[in-house]
Amino acid sequence: MHIEKWWGNLVGGTDDSLLLVDYFEELPKSIISLDEVYRDLGLDTIFQEGNLKQDAAMGFEMTINGSLVHAEMDIASAAVIDLAAIVLESLNCGFVDLQDLDDVRSEKRIVIQATKQDLALLCRVLEQFAEDPFAYDLAEFVPVEDMLELGQAAQEIANELKKWEELT
């Protein structure tokens, strides 16, 4: 499992991280395009408007106890880093086992298919975060050392994704 290098602390360690895993668990299919993930979560609009620094809310519809509810992720910048780690895991391993992300999940493997353009966009967003993590609203809630570590993780993930971007 490649993702364990980052997953579980600053990356993958928030309530929004668990909501992202909920999103993948709720999918009726096991193969999804990264572009579709962007649209489902509202990231296409956030990326287009360039307001990731202000942590615009993102979310999706999910079913809880038979009722449809809107699940909202409060810190979009952190959720994007989580998503990038999940995408990288899918590319490196050929799939993501949701139990590797949260051991109380049902057994489900997902595959995220990404185009060169989708990966380039994700890399650009990660690099912008890594360049100045303190420009993001997230910095108001996270200690300085953790923000620096998160910025470093974002850059490392972007570097790994770039290798896949070149192969796509």
Helix (H, G, I), strand (E, B) or coil at 19: helix
Q: What is the pLDDT of residues 106-122, one digit of tens each?
A: 889 999 999 999 999 99
pLDDT band at 55 (very low <50, low <70, confident <90, very high): low
Give, to the nearest 10 degrees, the angle between helix 116-131 and helix 76-93: 130
Name the average pLDDT for the chain.
Answer: 91
Give the Cα-Cα-Cα angle 24, 28, 30 (nearest 5 degrees): 60
Share of the chain above pLDDT 90, in %: 64
Backbone angles phi and psi of 11, in degrees to 5: -95, 125
What is the model's pTM?
0.94
pLDDT at 16 exceeding the cut of 70: yes
Give the Cα-Cα-Cα angle 52, 75, 144 (nearest 5 degrees): 90
pLDDT band at 20 (very low <50, low <70, confident <90, very high): very high
pLDDT at 127 exceeding the cut of 90: yes
Question: Which residues are paired to 112 by β-bridges?
Answer: 32
Query: Which residue from 74, 84, 83 is spatially nearest to 142, judged by alpha carbons?
Result: 74
pLDDT band at 1 (very low <50, low <70, confident <90, very high): low
